[in-house]
Amino acid sequence: SQQGEEDPQALSIQEGENATMNCSYKTSINNLQWYRQNSGRGLVHLILIRSNEREKHSGRLRVTLDTSKKSSSLLITASRAADTASYFCATDAVGAQKLVFGQGTRLTINP
Amino acid sequence: EAQVTQNPRYLITVTGKKLTVTCSQNMNHEYMSWYRQDPGLGLRQIYYSMNVEVTDKGDVPEGYKVSRKEKRNFPLILESPSPNQTSLYFCASTRTMGTEAFFGQGTRLTVV
């Protein structure tokens, strides 16, 4: 069963703008992770936020987590053409013994 | 360099011909898993392994087998492939469950 649902499915913005992607999930989690996938290639880990954290930063990335709403957001600031990729959230649900991925947001940065 | 290596990267095969996709990691990770990725369905877990000789089914295990005889290797076996197993497959490893996952480059399998 899919735990994470992402919104929007696709996002197209101009270079330099900020991009925000959202993820909702259904059950209690230990942590939530975000990954990037360039077309047809392996996923690359971006950031992990634990259930007791509300916000985390890594370079141009900012992740928030609201466990009461069971949702997370990924903000990419000052976007670049190289940020064009698909972005996935993945939840480590309590007792699940596995990461469950959402269907992803396809982000396109236009020069 | 920390990495997960899958082989082959591309494979076209015929229905019913047994095949194995290999996966190897060099990070001494305990946890390994296989996913398939299909358009509109995201990544779905096929099987996972929490350590040597410990494997369990994921969400879509039908038609697949795995083994974990050594910590570094986690091959995916399709005993009798069918066209509905045409997909992009990924192997991943993590130090323990819930930590950062490292993914292989993927195997694009076509079954005709």
Q: What is the pLDDT of residues A74-86, one digit of tens each?
A: 999 999 999 999 9
Tally C-beta pairs within 8 A across A and B. 58
Asked if A101's CB is within 8 angstroms of B43's CB, the reply is yes
What average pLDDT values come out for chain B (112 residues) when binned by 10 residues?
Answer: 94 97 96 94 93 94 97 97 98 90 97 98
Q: Which residues in chain B are contacts of A33 at CB distance < 8 A?
A: 100-101
* Nearest residue, CB atoms, A41 vs list B40, B99, B106: B106
Q: Are A73 and A21 in contact (CB under 8 A)?
A: yes
The C-alpha angle with vertex B23 and arms to B18 and B29, in degrees rounded to 5, equals 145
Q: How far is CA A43 from the centre of its chain?
A: 12
Closest-CA residue of chain B to A88: B42
Would you state the structure tokens that stand for residue A63, as one six-digit string?
């992740």
* Nearest residue, CB atoms, B98 vs list A2, A31, A102: A31
Provide the CB-side half-sphere exposure for A39 (13 A, CA): 4
Distance CA B6, CA B75 (A): 9
* Nearest residue, CB atoms, A45 vs list B44, B48, B100: B100
Helix/strand/coil for B85: helix
pLDDT category at A3 given cuts 50, 70, 90 is low
Residues 25-54 on A with a CB inside 8 Å of B are: 30-31, 33, 35, 40-45, 48
Distance CA B21, CA B10 (A): 10
- For residue B83, report the phi and psi dihedrals to the nearest 5 degrees: -55, -30
Helix/strand/coil for A83: helix
Distance CA B46, CA B87 (A): 12
Q: Is the dihedral of CA A6, A8, A13, A18 positive or negative?
A: negative
The C-alpha angle with vertex A111 and arms to A81 and A59, in degrees rounded to 5, equals 35
Query: Is residue A1 over pLDDT 50?
Result: no
Closest-CA residue of chain B to A34: B100
Tell me the nearest-neighbour CA distance from B6 into chain A, angstroms: 10
Q: Are strands B87-94 and B65-66 parallel, antiparallel or unpaired?
A: unpaired
Q: What is the pLDDT of residues A46-95, one digit of tens each?
A: 999 999 999 999 999 999 999 999 999 999 999 999 999 999 999 998 88
Q: How far is CA B79 from the centre of its chain?
A: 14
